[in-house]
Amino acid sequence: MPGLPVVVIGAGPVGLAAAAHLVERGIEPLVLESAPVAARSVREWSHVRLFSPWSEIVDPAAEKLLAPTGWARPDDTAYPTGGDWAERYLQPLADALGDRVRYRTTVTGVARAGRDRVVDADRDRQPFTLNVTAPDGTEARVTAGAVIDATGTWATPGPLGGNGLPALGERAAADRISYRVPDLADPAVRARYAGRRTAVVGSGASAFTALAGLAGLAGAEPGTHAVWILRRGLSAATYGGGEADQLPARGALGLAARAAVAAGHASAVTGFRTEAVVPDGEGRLVLVAEDGRRTEPVDEVIALTGLRPDLSFLSELRVALDERLQAPAALAPLIDPNVHSCGSVRPHGAKELSHPEKGVYLVGTKSYGRAPTFLAMTGYEQARSVAAALAGDTAAAGRVELTLPETGVCGGAGLFDAAEPARAGGGCCAAPVAVGAPAADSAVPDGH
């Protein structure tokens, strides 16, 4: 709609990339960010090193926007931490966007002007209105021609419960449960886990990172031990692609977890779906599985069981979401973790991200819903395609401009299926289609 900005919700990596692509297209963006700085979520895992180098986590349109500011591109071959990514790229990008980024502004609702989700009449002709809470706490309303939701999933981690609900007793034990990869360089955090038994629940890169960190701590602090809780069985495929992974640093995470188990610093408990967390009477916690099995008492729990989107402020929009993943309906079959665990995700862009509500797009990790395989460059490609679609360039919107490195492991995560061995011969994905990734999932996603 002429004269109205495209509102981008969230100043994380993909939200800022979307704004840069809009600027490149001559479309005015307005980025609304609830935090006082850009990349708040990335900063919360600032201690975690990404498993992609700088060459794969800088968006091309963003770099063009940064060039006139004198920004110096980091060494393409270096692997930054989340803190490096935020300070050396994401915040400078937000600064280059200037007044187009509005901080301390929280979006509490999005709708069509004068239309709730029920009303059809002239719906597509109405602009969008966003209810926001301003920095001074007052409520305000912002009008937009289109809306790009790049709020990510970091703020809503999955619970311990194997059924997707909090385990019984999980809330009561909240002071002993963390949902983040611990920063063991922090003395207070280190003291929390040193010399203690810690249950690590999860099987992704975040769990690998936590296990490797605790194994390192065990070398300096006797008595430190990790109890690795897996919902599936243990096999070669459990540890990822290893040397077959086309992102070597990503493969190394799984190898580090394997080494932690082999060295005796971690013990694996398999086929365990947590139903309850109970105190043992001596100040420790016991996890109880759905089948009645109980772990040995542990002092701490680190739950790294995935993330999920917050859809509450989109309730008045007509968004079509998959009933399983809570991802856009057209995208969900391409990223379903029951089927995909490597670079077998086909190219996708504005078409797959569209909804019945025209002019609304979920991008970045938010677009993947509960699927765990999102990569940063996938989000950059989404941003490019969506900006092209909003500019009316259907040819560019439909074009695919990225390639995805394989993990070297195939087969979906499944639900109750038995663990399967990794296939021989290295990589397995028929047609690589995306490139680059933050350690988003090794600490979690894109500030996503």
Contact residues for 408 (Cβ-Cβ < 8 A; gap 6+): 240, 241, 242, 243, 244, 245, 246, 251, 342, 422, 426, 427, 428
Question: Which structure tokens are listed for 351?
Answer: 């078409």
Tell me how far apart the alpha carbons of residues 7 and 142 are, in angstroms, rounded to a whole number: 9
Question: Which of 217, 211, 164, 209 lies closest to 193, judged by CA?
Answer: 217
Taking each helix axis as running N to C, give the angle between helix 248-262 and helix 205-220, from 0 to 180 degrees, rounded to the nearest 10. 50
Q: pLDDT of the chain along its 448 residues, tens only?
A: 778 999 999 999 999 999 999 999 999 999 999 999 999 999 999 999 888 899 999 999 999 999 999 999 999 999 999 999 999 999 999 999 999 999 999 999 999 999 999 999 999 999 999 999 998 899 999 999 999 999 999 999 999 999 999 999 999 999 999 999 999 999 999 999 999 999 999 988 889 899 999 999 999 999 999 999 998 876 666 666 555 555 566 667 777 788 888 889 999 999 999 999 999 989 999 999 999 999 999 999 999 999 999 999 999 999 999 999 999 999 999 888 877 654 556 668 999 999 999 999 999 999 999 988 788 889 999 999 999 999 999 999 998 877 665 554 444 444 444 444 443 333 333 222 222 332 333 333 333 2
CB 24 within 8 A of CB 163: no
Interatomic CA distance for residues 222 and 249, integer angstroms: 28
pLDDT of residue 261: 84
Q: What pLDDT is stored for residue 403 in this prediction?
A: 65
Residue 403 amino acid letter: T
Amino acid at site 98: G
